[in-house]
């Protein structure tokens, strides 16, 4: 905690004045452009690796960058994730939702271990809120991963996106660059796109192409950011050789 307090003092003496100016600029007319879901991992700093600033995004973080499917909620019982979707996309009319997973995700490493029935037993879930969270809200990702693994880990996967009839194909790590848990992380990131589309209050905007869902994936150890390209059917590293083509795809499909 002392480190945090010392950091606040450095902020007061360095960037505070500039940040106050930015706060004043967006105070009356904030125009955030995205709702950004990512993991709570301390290594994930989305405003830094997207070079975004005050007022640019709503950021929601949890273990495993999960957005629970609407089927898990009845009546008034919801979690913060759908509430954030409503606040961002309904109240503030934001048009872009981004889900960002990452490599070496401790939540995904745990999810991989939950393949073991004993490890995922009801008793263990009662003792561990994290296991319960992952079993409840990431099981669809694990099931998809297991089917893909059992088929040889080469075939493409099919995900639903903005509507049940709008689907996309995804090839996962064809170059075999990543650990098996990281492959699961990429599948989990794409699965959240389907989960987001399960909420009725987003249906009209999704069907009318007025709201768009994207997926990013961050490699912790290289610093590379991958964007899921529906055209390329895979995660593509965002770099000097790809950014123009990816930008053209975004303009073509999501404008």
Cα–Cα dist 112/89, whole Å: 32
pLDDT of residue 164: 79
Residue 76: what pLDDT?
A: 62
Task: Place 41 in a pLDDT band, splitting at 50, 70 and 90.
Answer: very high
Residue whose pair of structure tokens reads 């903005």 in the numeric block: 162
Please report, for the chain, the start and end positions of each structural domain, with discontinuous segments joined by +. Answer: 31-253
189 pLDDT higher than 70: yes
pLDDT tens-digit profile of 222-251? 999 999 999 999 999 999 999 999 999 998
Which pLDDT score is estimated for 26? 86
Closest CA to 36 of 119, 89, 98, 90: 98
**Superfamily of chain region 31-253:** Carbonic anhydrase (3.40.1050.10)
Question: Going by C-beta distance under 8 Å and a sequence separation of 6 or more, which residues neighbour residue 156?
Answer: 169, 170, 171, 233
Q: What is the pLDDT of residue 253?
A: 80
Residue 60: strand, helix, or coil: strand
Element (H, E) at 245: helix 243-254
Q: Which residues are annotated as a binding site for Zn(2+)?
A: 39, 41, 102, 105
Q: What percent of the chain has pLDDT over 70?
A: 98
Report how far residue 136's alpha carbon sits from residue 128's, in angstroms, rounded to the nearest whole number. 12
Q: Which pLDDT belongs to residue 214?
A: 97
Of residues 254 and 12, the one with the higher pLDDT is: 12
Q: Is the pLDDT of residue 212 over 70?
A: yes
d(CA 167, CA 90): 24
Strands 96-102 and 34-39: parallel
Helices (H), 27-66: 46-49
Q: What is the pLDDT of residue 73?
A: 82
Q: Work out whether the CA dihedral 74, 212, 89, 203 comes out positive or negative.
A: negative
The pLDDT of residue 72 is 86
| Mean pLDDT in residue range 55-76 | 91
Average pLDDT score over residue span 52-64:
95
DSSP letter at 156 equals P
Backbone angles phi, psi at 42, to 5 degrees: -65, -15
Supply the mean pLDDT for the chain: 94
Spatial separation of the C-alpha atoms in residues 244 and 255, rounded to whole Å? 15
Annotated binding site: 39, 41, 102, 105
What's the burial of 57, exposed, middle or buried (CB within 10 Å: 0-12/13-18/19+)? buried
Q: Can you give the pLDDT at residue 77?
A: 66
Pairwise CA distance, residues 129 & 169, whole Å: 33
Query: For residues 65 and 185, what is the distance between their CA atoms, to the nearest angstrom?
Result: 10
Tokens of 7: 């950091």
- For residue 36, what pLDDT band results from cuts at 50, 70 and 90? very high
Per-residue pLDDT, averaged over 190-207, amounts to 95
Q: What's the whole-number mean pLDDT along residues 206-210?
A: 93
CB distance 133 to 67 below 8 Å: no
pLDDT band at 165 (very low <50, low <70, confident <90, very high): confident
Tokens representing residue 63 in the block: 């273990």
What's the DSSP call for residue 86? Answer: I
Task: Read off the pLDDT of residues 86-130 as tens digits, 9 standing for 90 and up.
Answer: 999 999 999 999 999 999 999 999 999 999 988 889 888 889 999
Q: What is the mean pLDDT of residues 184-209?
A: 96
């Amino acid at each position: 905690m002392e480190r945090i307090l010392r950091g606040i003092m450095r902020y007061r003496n360095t960037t505070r004045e500039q940040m106050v100016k930015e706060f004043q600029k967006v105070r009356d007319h904030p125009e955030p452009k995205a709702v950004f879901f990512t993991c709570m991992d301390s290594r994930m700093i989305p405003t830094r690796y997207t070079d975004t600033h005050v007022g640019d995004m709503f950021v929601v973080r949890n273990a495993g960058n999960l957005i629970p499917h609407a089927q898990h909620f009845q009546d008034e019982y919801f979690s913060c994730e759908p509430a954030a979707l409503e606040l961002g996309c309904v109240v503030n009319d934001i048009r872009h939702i981004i889900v960002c997973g990452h490599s070496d995700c401790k939540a995904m490493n745990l999810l991989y271990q939950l393949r073991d029935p004993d490890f995922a037993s009801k008793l263990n879930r009662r003792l561990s809120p994290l296991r319960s969270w992952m079993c409840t809200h990431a099981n669809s990702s694990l099931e998809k991963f297991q089917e893909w693994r059992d088929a040889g880990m080469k075939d493409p996967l099919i995900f639903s996106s903005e509507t049940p009839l709008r689907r996309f194909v995804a090839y996962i790590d064809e170059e075999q660059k990543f650990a098996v848990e990281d492959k699961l992380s990429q599948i989990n990131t794409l699965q959240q796109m389907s989960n987001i589309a399960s909420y009725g209050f987003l249906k009209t905007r999704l069907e009318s192409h007025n709201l768009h869902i994207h997926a990013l994936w961050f490699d912790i150890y290289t610093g590379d950011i991958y964007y899921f390209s529906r055209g390329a059917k895979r995660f593509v590293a965002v770099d000097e050789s790809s950014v123009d083509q990816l930008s053209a795809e975004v303009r073509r499909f999501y404008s």
